[in-house]
Structure 1
Amino acid sequence: MAGGKNKGRGKSSSVTPKKSNKTMAVGSKAAKDGQSSSSISYLVPILVVIGAILYKSQYGSSDEIAQSLNTTDPTAGHRKMKVPVGWQDGFYTIEDVVTVPSTHATLYPNGGNGPGETITIESDKDFLDLGRVYNDMGQIVQSRTHFKNGASLYLGPTRAGTHFQWPAVALGHRRPVSGVYGGDGKQVELETLTEPTENAASSEPRVFYVHNFLSAAEADEFVKFSTAPENPYKMAPSTGGTHKAWNQGGDGAVLTTRTSENAFDITTKQSFDVKKRAFRLLRMNGYQENMADGIQILRYKVGQAYVAHHDYFPTHQSKDFNWDPLSGGSNRFATIFLYLSDVSYGGQTVFPNCEKLSAEKSPELVERLGESPSASELKEFVSNAGLMEGSWEDNLIHKCYEKFAVPPRRGDAILFYSQRPDGLLDTNSLHGACPILNGTKWGANLWVWNACRYSQCSEDPMLPSEELTPALKAPFPGGS
């Protein structure tokens, strides 16, 4: 696969703390010898006030913490940052991993693209000056006792409309996602499938396999609701058209390059629960309905497929909305594609701009993702599926076995980003739905935007990122 591992030998730098020009009096001699007990009683309210000030300095706002921790004392890192109101369980580190505050780490940009930089962190103020930083587990690191010396840290988003992106770490790297569980209570796990790099033109897309995202019961319920009479957007031939949504009078033209059927779930409690789960997986704190499309449920029968495409809209899609995240606009940020059934043959999600995974790189992944059939077997599959030789479906199916592709497995999902960490739309996120060669494939699209989606902004549609809530609007101060 194109691109190397994210981690390499880092550059070295030192974060030098500024000299403190502020001191805090924390006590004084209470009284001279012979002072009366009545005089001492006057000190009680003063001591209470001093105690309140000290408490606030340790547990107050980020700015207050930064001021109170303006010290070069390397043992001061035991002080913990206050957990902001509304933070979700699992979003942040909560336990010490060392007793003596750490003093150096390797710092990577958001998403881990590019080489790391070795930094020295001599004080808590130095740590806070980094802004929000994450660990490999996608958790916000709260203090210097929450990581070991030499650990990898990742900068958070620095501009409104950009968000945290999971670092690849290494091909095949698998980690539990703290605070995120499927409908059956199993912890969701994230597995790295590609190796994105800092070069936008040649980088692989950022793709992860998501284990245990749905329970079997949840998968079955989506399938059932897609054809239910009470669903106003029940199963029908898949359509193409404009950026307008299913409930906004969008173009209903049936696509010749998408031969599946689709439905939408925009009303059930389960659909909202699953979308909230998606926000937690993406580490986007504070679910917002206007940042997510309705869940699109898909049915592919034998021979049906969807040509390679992007999930994001072109920046020139329409003049009544800013579609460019680089200039404060909004577009589809990430896709979580849910697999609602198993498929015997075909039905993979293929990324034609990404080279096929080799056994030399990851034999375990190759074995699990499946070996390619022989040329004669593939020809027989195509014939049995009723696909015409030379058709777009025939051309696509060859890509499905020549390029990087992920087979469906019920209850799991894949996560891929349509934007790079800086907000640039990622052309290499091009993907398609491979033709079904046997059986029926059920799946669902869950799209999350980087800000309010088209027609759902309450203020200026040219500046969607300005409407983000404080919990979702970068930049963030250190320790919050």
Structure 2
Amino acid sequence: MKGRVKSPKTKFGKPIVFFLCLLFFLAGFYISTIFSQSQDAPSLPHGSRILESVEVDSQAMPHGETGDSYIQSIPFQVLSWKPRALYFPRFATPAQCEGIIEMAKSNLKPSTLALRKGETDESTKGTRTSSGTFISASEDDAGILDAIEQKISKVTMIPRTHGEAFNVLRYEIGQKYDSHYDAFNPAEYGPQKSQRVASFLLYLSDVEEGGETMFPFENGAKLGMGFDYRKCTGLKVKPRQGDGLLFYSVFPNGTIDQLSLHGSCPVVKGEKWVATKWIRDQEEEDD
């Protein structure tokens, strides 16, 4: 007669079984906690450009006579180091943008160019096809331009007295501005009393299609090569109402940044409104 096969006796004692049960319980609790937190956490959009808000738990430092008594946060994004270009989302409110447009509408005239040696109005025809007008903060009784100007001064760390009047521009369908420099090369334009070191563009409207601000030489691309200044290429910044774009045309040592070449792509659909503030290295006599 065959014998029965005996089942093997377990080798685990009660303490080991208790320890294993406790280990499995703790592991399950830890995993469920992580899963719960991941479900509750707000999802960030892919490629989010800015941190929407930053709370600073800090006391303002004692300030000088010309300083501020408060801490202010102005969100920005570095678009490029070559050239130095910074983007400021929601720099102005929709109401402020609409107010500036209303101030400019009745005084618009065809935009002009600062001519280089040997150039004429006829030879440069078609380079800049927008219409615009200059408005200084002192002409704005509502105080909109004054508030914008103060904010620009904060982000550039350049006094308001160094800024030219706002150049408010309108680009209609097909209108554009070929690639150019805002700084004036004395060899091309003659001696200059002061130099444009930075430009701040405040977009006053959305543009359905086209109208981007472009930097064709961004990061040294195409520099030194044959280049069609009418092309819309390179780093492009899409206009959005209330957003600001700051870029520097001159290095800290005073030389012109060749990569700051920029232009305005043709508007394909809609209308583009922008207020440009050119900032100089010395005080402006008339503002």
Give TM-score, length-normalised by structure 2.
0.66
Q: Quick one: distance in 2 between partners of 1:83 and 1:292?
A: 24
Instruction: Quote the residue 1:262 is aligned against.
Output: 132
Q: 1:450 pairs with 240, 261, 281, which one?
A: 281
Residue 153 of structure 2: aligned partner: 279
Q: Structure 2: which 5+ runs fail to align?
A: 1-60, 221-227
Ranked by relative contact order (alpha carbons within 8 Å, sequence separation 6 or more), the top structure is 2
- 2:127·2:178 contact (CA, 8 Å) conserved in 1? yes
**AA paired with 1:439?**
G
2:68 to 76, 88, 100: 88
Shift of 1:273: 2.5
2:77/2:86 contact within 8 Å kept = yes
Measure, in 2, the Cα distance between the counterparts of 1:188 and 1:441: 24
The structure 1 residue matched to 2:76, chosen from 186, 190, 197, is 190
Q: What are structure 1's unaligned runs of at least 5 residues?
A: 1-80, 91-177, 180-186, 197-203, 229-233, 244-250, 323-329, 357-391, 458-480
Deviation at 1:252, TM superposition (A): 8.4
CA 1:338–1:82 in structure 2 vs 1: closer, same or farther (change >3 Å)?
A: closer
User: If you compute each CA radius of gyration, which structure gives the higher value, 1 or 2?
Assistant: 2
Give the Cα–Cα distance (whole angstroms) in 2 for the partners of residues 211 and 89 of structure 1. 24
Separation in 2, partners of 1:89, 1:339? 29
Aligned partners of 1:332 and 1:418 also within 8 Å: yes
How far did 1:89 drift? Answer: 4.3
**Distance apart, 1:86 and its partner CA:** 1.0
Aligned to 1:350: 214
Partner of 1:341: 205
The count of aligned residue pairs is: 212
- Aligned residue in 2 for 1:25: none
Please say if residues 200 and 277 of structure 2, whose CA atoms lie closer than 8 Å, have aligned partners that are also in contact.
yes
CA distance in 2, matches of 1:433, 1:89: 39
Residue pair 2:63, 2:69 contacting (<8 A) in 1 also: no
In structure 1, distance between residues paired with 2:231 and 2:214: 9
Per-residue deviation, 1:350: 0.3
Partner Cα separation in structure 2 for residue 84 and residue 318 of structure 1: 40
SS of structure 1 residue aligned to 2:255: coil
Instruction: Give the Cα separation in 2 of the matches to 1:416 and 1:257.
Output: 21
Choose which of 202, 209, 213 in structure 1 pairs with 2:91.
Answer: 213
Q: Counterparts in 2 of 1:214-233, with a 5 A limit?
A: 214-228=92-106
Task: Give TM-score scaled by structure 1 length.
Answer: 0.41
Structure 1 residue 193 displacement after superposition: 0.8
Structure 1 residue 82, shift from structure 2 partner: 6.2
Identity of matched residues, %: 29
Distance 1:270 1:242, change over 3 A: farther
Structural mapping, 1:21-36, within 5 Å: none
Q: What is the one-letter code of the residue matched to 1:452? A: E
1:255, distance to aligned residue in structure 2 (A): 4.2
Contact 1:188/1:212 (<8 A) preserved: no
Hey, what does 1:435 align to over in structure 2?
266
Cα deviation digits, residues 376-410 of structure 1 (max 9, x gap): xxxxxxxxxxxxxxxx79x523x2xxx11110110
- Within a 5 Å distance, the mapping from 1:7-86 to structure 2 comes to 83-86=63-66
**Per-residue displacement from partner, 1:5-45 (whole Å, max 9, x unpaired)?**
xxxxxxxxxxxxxxxxxxxxxxxxxxxxxxxxxxxxxxxxx
Q: Which residue of 1 aligns with 2:8?
A: none
Contact 1:419 1:426 (C-alpha < 8 Å) held by counterparts: yes
Deviations 1:412-465 (A, max 9, x none): 011101111222221211000000111111111111112124xx29xxxxxxxx
Q: Aligned in 2, Cα 1:255/1:280: closer, same or farther, shift over 3 Å?
A: farther
1:318 alignment partner in structure 2: 190
- Aligned partners of 1:280 and 1:261: how far apart in 2? 29
Helix, strand or coil at the partner of 1:276 = helix
For residue 308 of structure 1, the aligned residue among 179, 182, 186 is 179
1:240 corresponds in structure 2 to 113
Deviation at 1:355, TM superposition (A): 5.4
* CA-CA distance at 1:217 after TM superposition: 0.6
Instruction: Quote the RMSD (CA, aligned, Å).
Output: 2.8
